[in-house]
Structure 1
Amino acid sequence: MSEAVKSMLAKPIQLADQVAKAAGAALSYRTECTEIKTKAEHLASLLRQAARSDLYERPAARVTDDTAQALSKALSLVSKCRDHGGILRRLCYIIPAGSFPRVAEQLDNSIQNVSWLIRISSPDNDPDGESDLHGMPNIAQNEPILFLIWDHIAKLHTGSPEARADAASNLASMAHDNDHFARKIIEEDGVAPLLRLLKESRDEGREAAARALGNLARDKESVARLVQAGICSVLAKSLKEPPMKVQAVVAWAIGELCAKNPDYQDSFAENHVVRLLVGHVAFETIQEHSKYSIPTAPAKAMSLHSVVLAHTKSVRLGASDAQNFGPSNNANNNNNNGIGNGLPKPNAPKTHIHSVVQSAMVTNGSVGVTRGRLSEDAETKAQLKAMAAYALWCLARDNANICKSITESRALLCFATLLEKGTGDVQKYSALAVMEIARVAEHNLALRQSAFKPSSPAAKAVVEQLLRIVQKGEYDELLLPCITSLGCLARTFQASETRIVGPLVQLLDEREPPVAKEAVIALTKFACTENHLHATHCKAIIEAGGARHLVQLVYLGDQIQIEALVLLCYVALHVPDSQELEQAGVLAVLLWASKQAHMAQDVKVENLLPEAKARAELFQSRGTR
C-alpha cells in the first residue's frame, strides 16, 4: 500500500477511537451513546484491518474521506452528552431527537463502505469471485457505474488470472459502449493494471487487456493519458510475442490510438512499431519475408537482416546476384500462390539465402516462434495482417517520416500482393494504407522519388493493382481509396504511361456520386497546371470522352458541380483548340457557369473560370452557345 493511503487512514482511525472514548464517558443519552460506541469500535477495527491490506487507492480515498466526515459528526454529537458542569450549561447543548439515528445510519454506511473496500482488496476472502453480488457500497449509490468500474479494476490488481481476464473483458465492453465510462476507467487508474495484465498475463488476459486499452482511446486527451502511462513500449513489446490473436488485437489498439490522436505517431515509431507491423504484414505474403524489415539502431544482438547481409558479404555475392532475392522477383514468383504460400515449398531445394536465414533464426532462438506462427489457422493469420495494415494506415497519416520507413521496408510490395490475393479486411486496409502513403507522397517530393519512382518494382506492382481495381469499377470498399491513390500519384507517371486516365474517365459515366466525385478529383490532379504533363493528360481525358461527361456533371451533378467545373476549366485552359471540346459545347458551359453566382464566386474557380473561358473563346466558335 502507498504511503498516501496509510496517511489517509490515520485520521479516521484516530477519530474512531475518540468517538468510542467520548461515547463511553457520556452521562446523558447513555443508551444511544452505547450504540454509537459499539459502531465506532467496529469501524476502528475495520479501519485497522484496511491499513494492513493492499487497498485500491481511488475508492480508498473516497471511503476514508466519507468515513472521516461521519466520525467527525459522531464525535461532535457524543461530546455534548458529557457532564458540562451544571444544568445551565446542559441547556445550551440541546440535542434534536433525530440526531442519534442519523449519525448511527452514517456510521453503518461507513462500516459497509470499509467492509466492501477490504473485500475487493482481499481476493483470498472471496475465492469464488462473487463479492460484487453482495451489493454496492453506499458511496456509489448516486453513480452505480462507478461501483462496477472499481470492482473490475480491483480484480485487475488482486484477482486470479481468470478473474483478471474477465475483469479486463468487462472493462473493454464498458469502454466500447460509452465514452463517459471510458474516461471514468482512466480517471480511476485503470490503465496501469491493464498494462500490467498485458505484460504478465496468460493469452486470454492479454487479449482482453489489449482490447480494453484500445477501447479507452476515445479522444486526444484519453490517448495522451494512455501514452503518459507508458502504453507505447508495452504495445510494441506485445507485438513481438505470440500468439497471433493477441498480436492482432495489439495492432488494432495501436491503430486506434494513432487514429484518435496522431500527435503520438512518432512515439510509436520510436519503439520500432513500424518494423514489427511490416513484419506481420510480410509474413507468408512475399518470399524471404524476413528481409523486409526496417533497420533499427545498432544493438548488442545482430538482427536477422544484418546476419543475412553480413553472410552475403562474406561469401562475396555480387550486387547483381543479391538482387535476385529482392522484391522484383518475389512479385513474379508469387503470382501462382495464394496468401500464406510465400514460403518455399517443402520439397523444393533450399536456396543459399534460405539456409542463411534459417541458421540466423536458430542463432537468435526464433525457430520455435516461427513454427508457432506457421501452425496458426488461416483466419487468425489474415486477421493479424488486416490489423497490422490498419495500424500502418493510421500511423502513416500525414507523417512523411513514417511513410518513408514503411516504403523503405518493402511494405508496398506486400500491399500489392494483398490487394491482388487478399480478401475482406486484409484488402481494405492494404488499400487504405497505400492511399495514405500516396497522399503524403503527393506533397513530398523526396517520398515520391524514393517510393514511387517509375523504375521501382514495388511501385509498379502497386500501380498495377490500383489500376486493376479501378478498371474493374465495382463500387466496394476498395474502389474509392484506389481512385484516390492514383490521383495522388498523378505527378509520378511518365508520358509513356497511358493506361491511367482512361479508366478514371469511365467512372464519370452515370456512376454513384461518391465514385464520380473521387474520379473527378483524381483527374484534376492529372490536368492541373502543377502537373508538368498537364497537356498530355488533358488530351487523354478528351480522347477518353471526358468532355461530354464533364459537361453533364457541371449541368446536372448537384453534389460535384464545382469539382467537375474545375476539371473542365483545366482541360479548356490547356487544350483550348480541341474539336471534341467544341462539339461537346464546353464554351457554352463555361459561359453559363460564369453567370451562376454560386459557381463563379466559389474560391476554387473564381480565378480559373475567367481564364479558361477566355482561352476557349479565342479558339472555339461562339456558335456553340
Structure 2
Amino acid sequence: MATKPLAAILPQNKQTQNPAAIEQEKRIEEVLSYPILLSDRVDEAVKEAESFKLECLEVGKKVGNLCQMLRAAVRLSTSTTAGISFYDRPLRRIAAEVSKNLEKSLALLKKCKRRSVLRRVVTIVSAADFRKLFGHLESSVGDMKWVLSIFESGGAGGGIVLTLPPIASNDPIISWVWSFIASLHMGQLQDKMEAANELASLAKDNDRNKKIIVEEGGISPLLKLLKDSSSPDAQIAAAAALYNLANDKERVSLIIDELGVPIIVQVLGDSSMRVQIRVANLVAKMAEHCPRAQEDFARENVIRPLVTLLSFDIFMDDPKIRVGKPNIHSIVQINKEMEKNLSRPGFGSSLSMHYSEGGSKGGNHRKERENEKPEVKHKLKISCAEALWMLARESVPNSRRITETKGLLCLAKLVETEQEELQYICLMTIMEITAAAESNADLRRAAFKTNSPAAKAVVDQLQRVIKESDILRLKISAIRAIGSLSRTFPARETSVIGPLVEQLSHSNQDVAAEAAISLGKFACPDNFLCVEHSKTIIEFKGVPPLMRLLRGNEWAMLHGLILICYLAINAGKSEDLERAGILPAFEGIDRAFIAQHPELKELMPQAVYHLSVFHQTYTHSGLLTQMQF
C-alpha cells in the first residue's frame, strides 16, 4: 500500500516559520496526530522487515504501547470537564520527543526490509543500533506514562505528581513546574492551593525558576485562582506566587497582558483583610518594577480602594484631627472637598460610596474587619501605604489621583499617629506627591493651595517630624518634601524656613546637606519669592551654619556653596554675609572642585559681584578673575 510522505503531513510553510510557534498554533489533537500516524507506519514496517525480525517485533511492541498512550492522551484532551482547562504544554513537548524517536524507529526498520545484495552490503544494521533505539523508546514510554499520570491525578483530585520523567532527568525543575501548573488547571481546590504555594517557593529561589514558570504558562492559572473567592487561603497562595514572579519589568508586563490588573483590583476591593494584604503587596511590587503597571492600575482606579483601606478606623470628620487649629469651618471644608472630588467619574457618586470598603462586596467583610486583630489591620495599612508610594513614584497623574481622594489627609494623620515602618512609608508617599507637585504647576496649585486643610495638615506634620524626630530617614524625607513645596509658601509663611535653618547645624552632614538643598529651592531664581525667602534665611541666622558646612564632605560643601551663592545674589546687601567672611571663604575653594560642578562656575562669579557691589571693604577683582573659567 502506497503511503503518504511524512513531509506532506506537516504545514507547507514549516521551513519558513518558527517550529515552536507552529506547534503552539496547532490544536493538541493535531500535534498528537503526527506521532500516531508514525506509529502506524512503524507497525507496517515491522511486518515488512526481513532481517533482525525479533528486534523489529520488540520495536513494534514498544511503539504499540506508545500509540495506545497517545490515543489516551487525545481522549483526555477532548473530554475535559466543563470549566476545567486542559494544560497541554508538557504533552506538546513530550509529543515532539516521541515523534523524533518514532522517526528514528521508522528509519531503522526500513533498513531491515528486503533489498538488493549491494544495498544490504552498503547499509549495515547492527544489534547496537536496536539497543540504542530501545533506550529511546523506553524513555518515550516513561514520558508518556508520566504525563498521563499528571492529567489523570489532576482530573481525579489525586494530588500533585512529583515523580521525574526521563525528559526532565537533567532538569527536574521543569517537570515540577509542569505538575504544579497542571494541578492549577485541573486539580481540586486544595491541590490548586498546594501547587500555588509550591510555585511561590520555586519562584522565590531564583530568576531561572521564575522564567520557567512564566514560559510554561503559569501566570494565567494563578490569576484565575486569585479570582476564586471561595478560598482565601488559595487566593493568598496565588498572590504570593505572582508577587515572587513580579520582580522584573518583562514579567510584570506579562501579568498585565493576561488581564491581571482588573482581577487584582477586583480582589483588592472584594476580599478579606488577609487577602487584601497580599494583593496590596502585589500592586506595590508591580508598580515598583513597571511604569506601565502604574498607568494600568490607575486606569482601573486602584487608588480609591487603597486609600479607603488605608483610612480604615480613621474618621475624617473627627474634630480631633490636627489640621492647624481645629475648628468647625475646617472640618466642613474637608467634607465638602471630599464630596466634590468623589463625585467625579471614577471616584464614586457620594461620600457613602467612598466608605463602602472599596468594592461591591466590601460590605460583606466590614464586620470581619472590625473584629480582625490589630496586627492584621496594621499590616494592611502598611501594604496599602506602600502600594500608594509605588504608584505615586515619579507619576504626576497618580499623585494627582491620590490628592483627589482623602489620601493626603489620611497620610498626614498616619504620620502623626503611627511610628516606624508605617510612618516612614507614609512620609515617602508624601515625598513622592510633593515631588510631583514641584514638577507640575497644576497639581501644585490644586493640591497644595494655602487654604487647603489637607495641605495644611501635611505641612504641619512635615514640620513636626523635622523638629522632633531623631530618626534620620524620617527627618530627611520630611526635609525633601518641604523643599519640593517651596513655591507654594507665601513670603509671610516664615515658620517653614526656621526648622530647615536649624537642620543646617545638624551633627549628621547628610541631614544638613538636605536642609541646604531644600532651602536652596526657596532661594533659587525659579522661586518667585526668592529674595524674600533669602532674607528670611539670613534673619533666622542661617549663614554661620552654612559656613561650617563648607568644611564638610563634598556633598555638603556643594549644596552649602550653592545656597550661599543664592543668598549673596538675592540679599548681597546683608551685613551678616559680610561678617561671615564669604569672599575669603570663596578664595579658599579649590578651583578643581568648582570646575567639576557647572552650576558653581555660573553662580560664584555672580555672588562675588553682588557682594563686591555692596561691600567695599576688600577689592575682589582678583577673585572675579579667578572665577572666570
Give 1:556's aligned residue. 552
Tell me whether 1:21 sits opposite 2:28 in the alignment.
Answer: no
**Change in CA separation of 1:515 and 1:140 when aligned onto 2, cut-off 3 Å:** farther
Q: State the one-letter code of the partner of 2:471.
A: Y
Q: Determine if contact 1:248/1:387 at 8 Å carries over to the other structure.
A: yes
- SS in structure 2 opposite 1:53? helix
Give 2:125's aligned residue. 95
Q: Counterparts of 2:236 and 2:93 in 1: how far apart (Å)?
A: 31
Equivalent of 1:588 in 584, 587, 590: 584
Give 1:123's aligned residue. 153
Tell me whether 1:389 sits opposite 2:419 in the alignment.
Answer: no
Q: State the one-letter code of the partner of 2:240.
A: R
1:220, CA displacement in angstroms? Answer: 2.1
Deviations 1:158-213 (A, max 9, x none): 22222211221222233233223222221111110001000115111111211222
Give 1:499's aligned residue. 495
- SS in structure 2 opposite 1:398? coil
1:476, CA displacement in angstroms? Answer: 4.2
Q: Counterparts of 1:367 and 1:247 in 2: how far apart (Å)?
A: 14
**Change in CA separation of 1:512 and 1:122 when aligned onto 2, cut-off 3 Å:** farther
Give 1:271's aligned residue. 300
Equivalent of 1:109 in 139, 142, 146: 139
Tell me whether 1:223 sits opposite 2:218 in the alignment.
Answer: no
1:359, CA displacement in angstroms? Answer: 13
Give 2:224's aligned residue. 196
Q: Determine if contact 2:509/2:552 at 8 Å carries over to the other structure.
A: no
Moved more, 581-590 or 450-459: 581-590
Give 1:460's aligned residue. 456
Q: Counterparts of 2:420 and 2:191 in 1: how far apart (Å)?
A: 34
Tell me whether 1:443 sits opposite 2:439 in the alignment.
Answer: yes
Q: Counterparts of 1:196 and 1:111 in 2: how far apart (Å)?
A: 33
**Change in CA separation of 1:97 and 1:11 when aligned onto 2, cut-off 3 Å:** same
Q: State the one-letter code of the partner of 2:205.
A: D
1:127, CA displacement in angstroms? Answer: 5.1
Give 1:327's aligned residue. 334
1:411, CA displacement in angstroms? Answer: 1.0
User: TM-score if structure 2 supplies the norm length?
Assistant: 0.84
Equivalent of 1:252 in 268, 271, 281: 281
Aligned CA RMSD, in angstroms, stands at 2.9
Give 2:30's aligned residue. 7
- Tell me, which stretches of 5 or more residues in structure 2 are unaligned? 1-23, 78-85, 319-326, 339-349, 624-629
**Change in CA separation of 1:566 and 1:65 when aligned onto 2, cut-off 3 Å:** same
**Change in CA separation of 1:226 and 1:174 when aligned onto 2, cut-off 3 Å:** same
Tell me whether 1:154 sits opposite 2:186 in the alignment.
Answer: no
- SS in structure 2 opposite 1:494? coil
Deviations 1:493-516 (A, max 9, x none): 122222222222222325334323
Give 2:323's aligned residue. none
Q: Counterparts of 1:592 and 1:107 in 2: how far apart (Å)?
A: 84
Q: State the one-letter code of the partner of 1:520.
A: A
**Change in CA separation of 1:601 and 1:611 when aligned onto 2, cut-off 3 Å:** farther
Q: State the one-letter code of the partner of 1:590.
A: F
Q: Determine if contact 1:591/1:613 at 8 Å carries over to the other structure.
A: no
Q: State the one-letter code of the partner of 1:506.
A: E
Give 2:324's aligned residue. none
Deviations 1:3-41 (A, max 9, x none): 621111111111122223322432211222122111101
Q: Following TM superposition, where does structure 1 have runs of at least 4 consecutive aligned residues deviating by more than 6 angstroms?
A: 320-323, 328-331, 356-361
Q: Determine if contact 1:286/1:417 at 8 Å carries over to the other structure.
A: no
Tell me whether 1:184 sits opposite 2:218 in the alignment.
Answer: no
Give 2:429's aligned residue. 433
Q: Determine if contact 1:182/1:218 at 8 Å carries over to the other structure.
A: no
Alignment of 1:18-417 (within 5 A): 18-54=41-77, 55-84=86-115, 86-123=116-153, 129=159, 131-132=161-162, 134=163, 136-200=164-228, 202-287=231-316, 325=332, 327=334, 367-417=363-413
1:280, CA displacement in angstroms? Answer: 1.0
**Change in CA separation of 1:431 and 1:365 when aligned onto 2, cut-off 3 Å:** closer
- Tell me, which stretches of 5 or more residues in structure 1 are unaligned? 290-319, 332-352
Q: Percent identity?
A: 35
- SS in structure 1 opposite 2:598? coil
**Change in CA separation of 1:454 and 1:589 when aligned onto 2, cut-off 3 Å:** same
Q: Counterparts of 1:370 and 1:156 in 2: how far apart (Å)?
A: 30
1:103, CA displacement in angstroms? Answer: 0.8
Q: Determine if contact 2:154/2:182 at 8 Å carries over to the other structure.
A: no
Q: Determine if contact 1:156/1:163 at 8 Å carries over to the other structure.
A: yes
Equivalent of 1:534 in 527, 530, 543: 530
1:322, CA displacement in angstroms? Answer: 10
**Change in CA separation of 1:131 and 1:173 when aligned onto 2, cut-off 3 Å:** closer
**Change in CA separation of 1:583 and 1:605 when aligned onto 2, cut-off 3 Å:** same
**Change in CA separation of 1:622 and 1:208 when aligned onto 2, cut-off 3 Å:** farther
Q: Counterparts of 1:179 and 1:217 in 2: how far apart (Å)?
A: 11
Moved more, 554-563 or 381-390: 554-563
**Change in CA separation of 1:580 and 1:403 when aligned onto 2, cut-off 3 Å:** same
Tell me whether 1:604 sits opposite 2:591 in the alignment.
Answer: no
**Change in CA separation of 1:173 and 1:583 when aligned onto 2, cut-off 3 Å:** farther
Q: Counterparts of 2:100 and 2:288 in 1: how far apart (Å)?
A: 45
Q: Counterparts of 1:464 and 1:101 in 2: how far apart (Å)?
A: 83
**Change in CA separation of 1:541 and 1:179 when aligned onto 2, cut-off 3 Å:** farther
Q: State the one-letter code of the partner of 2:449.
A: K
Deviations 1:61-108 (A, max 9, x none): 211111111110011001111222x43332232114421111111111
Q: Counterparts of 1:2 and 1:120 in 2: how far apart (Å)?
A: 23
Q: Determine if contact 2:154/2:183 at 8 Å carries over to the other structure.
A: no
Give 1:618's aligned residue. 613
Give 1:292's aligned residue. none
Moved more, 70-79 or 58-67: 58-67
Q: Determine if contact 2:165/2:175 at 8 Å carries over to the other structure.
A: yes
Q: Counterparts of 1:213 and 1:125 in 2: how far apart (Å)?
A: 24
- SS in structure 1 opposite 2:544? helix
- SS in structure 2 opposite 1:283? coil
Q: Counterparts of 1:195 and 1:378 in 2: how far apart (Å)?
A: 29
Deviations 1:293-332 (A, max 9, x none): xxxxxxxxxxxxxxxxxxxxxxxxxxx999855537999x
- SS in structure 2 opposite 1:455? coil
**Change in CA separation of 1:410 and 1:126 when aligned onto 2, cut-off 3 Å:** closer
Give 2:82's aligned residue. none
Q: State the one-letter code of the partner of 2:376.
A: T
User: TM-score if structure 1 supplies the norm length?
Assistant: 0.85
**Change in CA separation of 1:160 and 1:288 when aligned onto 2, cut-off 3 Å:** farther
Q: Counterparts of 2:593 and 2:331 in 1: how far apart (Å)?
A: 58
**Change in CA separation of 1:51 and 1:22 when aligned onto 2, cut-off 3 Å:** same
Deviations 1:465-509 (A, max 9, x none): 111111114134422221111110011112222222222222232
Q: Determine if contact 2:520/2:562 at 8 Å carries over to the other structure.
A: yes
Q: Determine if contact 1:287/1:330 at 8 Å carries over to the other structure.
A: no
- SS in structure 2 opposite 1:509? coil
Deviations 1:435-489 (A, max 9, x none): 1110010021111111111111111111111111111141344222211111100
Give 1:420's aligned residue. 416
**Change in CA separation of 1:360 and 1:501 when aligned onto 2, cut-off 3 Å:** closer
Q: Counterparts of 1:519 and 1:189 in 2: how far apart (Å)?
A: 51
